[in-house]
Structure 1
Amino acid sequence: MGFFLCQLRGPRPTFPSDMSPEEGALMGEHAAYWGGLAREGAAVAFGPVFDPAGPWGLALVEIADEAGARALTGADPVIRAGRGFRYDIHPMPQVVLRATPASAAS
């Protein structure tokens, strides 16, 4: 198993500040998709990043290989919709995770 940072790029530099209602609905499907992957354990974390150079989405996944990461991102509703979104996938050769607090484990 390995870790991969999946970086979602929007369809234009001004996204998400000017998303259409259709894009908003699509982003709801996107969030539900990644929420399911988080519950299943494939997604370690996901969410928006407000980078001063332009916003983007982050998904950190733990999966067998880059092909698996590409399969997950390729199944994302925003990609399947063909609306100009794209993922850049970055392998992470080393990841340090925080320990789960004992109170959260029960």
Structure 2
Amino acid sequence: MAQWLYRIVPTRPEMVADPTADEQRIVSAHFRYLVDLKERGVLILAGRTQEHADTFGITIFEADDEAAARAVMDGDPAVAAGVFAASLHPYAVAVARDGLAGS
């Protein structure tokens, strides 16, 4: 199975420090979506940078092909709602700590 990465950035940069109630709800759904991907064995890792300015997140996961990978990215509630803009990239974990895919 191929590995993929989708990169997300907030469409409203101020959201990181001052989210609206709707953004908070959508980001919570985003987090639950990532946990579900992990529990289904799809997600390798996900996280975001810890600065407020120019922050971005990455999700590294497995999918059979680009269409399936795009479906995973587009299924992210925060991407679907437009809270995050996303870009998809083929990826390969080269070195990882024990317990992470590709190690």
Structure 1-normalised TM-score?
0.79
Residue of structure 1 equivalent to 2:57: 57
Q: 1:21 and 1:52, CA in 2 relative to 1: closer, same or farther beyond 3 A? A: closer
Instruction: Name the larger-Rg structure.
Output: 1
Residue of structure 2 equivalent to 1:104: none
What's the CA shift for 1:84? 4.5
CA contact (8 A) 1:30 1:76 kept: yes
| Equivalent position SS for 1:18 | coil
Q: Percent identity?
A: 28
Residue of structure 2 equivalent to 1:29: 29
Amino acid aligned to 1:98: R
What's the CA shift for 1:22? 1.1
Give the root-mean-square deviation of aligned CA atoms: 1.9
How many residue pairs get matched? 99
* Stretch moving more, 37-46 or 6-15: 6-15
Residue of structure 2 equivalent to 1:95: 94
Unaligned runs of 5+ in 1: 101-106
Unaligned runs of 5+ in 2: none
Structure 2-normalised TM-score?
0.81
Provide runs of 4+ in structure 1 moved above 4 Å.
Answer: none
